[in-house]
Amino acid sequence: MTQVLNEQARRGALDLVFSAAPVEGQGIACVELPAMEMCFVGPRVRQRRRLTRQDIRERGLMTFQRGSQPHVALLSVLREEGLEDKRVHAISSISALVKMVESGFGVATFPRHAAEQLALKHDIAVWPSDLQLQPLPVFANFWSYPLDSPMQRVIQQAIQIATRQARA
């Protein structure tokens, strides 16, 4: 999704994009926001004390779409842990990931804040793990407008809200 959103921003179809990579282009500004902590999520009813390397070897493993930062980062962690032969299912829908975790298909990677919020409404839980996931970088990419323009003020307010939320 990041690549598609960033390309739309680059072409001028979107004024502001929050994504996992910076957009480069004339007239586009970028602000790096606090990264999001990533975690493993599993079914609440089968929650364990700690997700081990062996658990990961034996369970289905899901993350976001192929080529996304969470997908690439997970493959990197698996390679470092000697689990490079582990099949990772790539899914682009958060709601589909939640349904598959609830059904017991396996564990998935999520931004921690999103996982905690989703756990309030779904039968999922954050599972502590022996594997350390890389944080998800977040960038606000936006078209530069004159400083006194209404659009520039809206963009700056959105970035301030996102920054406060990320730090909370």
Q: pLDDT class for 23, splitting at 50, 70, 90?
A: very high
Q: pLDDT class for 3, splitting at 50, 70, 90?
A: confident
pTM across the whole model: 0.85
User: So what's the pLDDT on residue 48?
Assistant: 62
Decide if pLDDT at 46 tops 70.
no
What tokens does 96 get? 């589909």
- Cα torsion 58, 131, 101, 41 to 10°: value is 150
List, for residues 152-165, the tens digit of each pLDDT value. 888 889 999 988 88
For 31, 132, 143, 155, 156, the CA distances from 25, given in Å and listed in that order, are: 14, 33, 9, 18, 19
CATH domain 38-127 topology: D-Maltodextrin-Binding Protein; domain 2 (3.40.190)
Higher pLDDT, 50 or 47: 50
Average pLDDT (18-33) is 91
List, for residues 78-130, the tens digit of each pLDDT value. 999 999 899 999 998 999 999 999 999 999 999 999 999 999 999 999 999 98
Per-residue H/E/C for the chain: CHHHHHHHHHHCCCCEEEECCCCCCCCEEEEEEEEECEEEEEEHHHCCCCECHHHHHHCEEEECCCCCHHHHHHHHHHHHCCCCCCCCEECCCHHHHHHHHHCCCEEEEEEHHHHHHHHCCCCEEEECECCCCCCEEEEEEEECCCCCCHHHHHHHHHHHHHHHHHHC
| Domains of the chain, residue spans | 2-35+136-167, 38-127
